[in-house]
Chain A
Amino acid sequence: EPEVTQTPSHQVTQMGQEVILRCVPISNHLYFYWYRQILGQKVEFLVSFYNNEISEKSEIFDDQFSVERPDGSNFTLKIRSTKLEDSAMYFCASSPPFVYEQYFGPGTRLTVT
């Protein structure tokens, strides 16, 4: 069964550094999402992406964040200058057209020191 994959599984970075989290959505899906979960808190929506542009973004998704679909398979989340409070589990999700289900990847745990 096709799955959403994410790399790396765990990323440790220093405050102020740039990080890129990578996701490979399921191949025939057209809608892509990033969510994050700070330890002990709710899963929160960050951004949705369709047709090579951002559909919606949350208040969390400020100028330090960006998303890109550089080729036909990858979907990336970039944080330009990481802060301690960016430490969280980041989940990528995708969904096919006309279906309300979102399929989640296993997550990338980002630790900012």
Chain B
Amino acid sequence: AQSVTQLDSQVPVFEEAPVELRCNYSSSVSVYLFWYVQYPNQGLQLLLKYLSGSTLVESINGFEAEFNKSQTSFHLRKPSVHISDTAEYFCAVMDSSYKLIFGSGTRLLVRP
């Protein structure tokens, strides 16, 4: 069965510092990978996705993630975070029946 591991439950970081949120997956089939963000008291919003093609994918608000097949990873990065990036971030893989399998989430806490 496919699974997603997010090793860091919480990542504190100062504003304007770079951040990396780690995600590793296990899958034996073609991989579709996603990062979702959940702001306080809100639902899940798609941040970015990897379906095929370029292994580096970017979001409109400065996040990027790189699909690394050999390391089975899809880490999320941002070179300079803002207070408004404080949220919970979920990595997910889509399985062969098109359902999402989520990691346990990483809480990004940006401090001034």
Is the beta-carbon distance between B104 and A106 smaller than 8 angstroms?
A: no
Which one of A12-20, A41-49, A69-77, A80-88 is at the interface? A41-49
> Contacts A100-B32, A100-B49, A100-B94 given: A42-B103 contact, CB under 8 Å?
yes
Is the beta-carbon distance between B45 and A56 smaller than 8 angstroms?
A: no
Q: How many A-B residue pairs have CB under 8 A?
A: 52
Q: Which residues of B contact A (CB under 8 A)?
A: 32, 34, 36, 42-46, 49, 51, 90, 92, 94, 97-105
A-B contact pairs, 12 of them (CB 8 A): A35-B102, A43-B44, A43-B102, A45-B99, A45-B101, A100-B51, A100-B94, A101-B46, A103-B46, A104-B36, A104-B44, A104-B45
Q: Which residues of A contact B (CB under 8 A)?
A: 4, 6, 31, 33, 35, 41-45, 48, 55-56, 91, 93, 95, 100-107
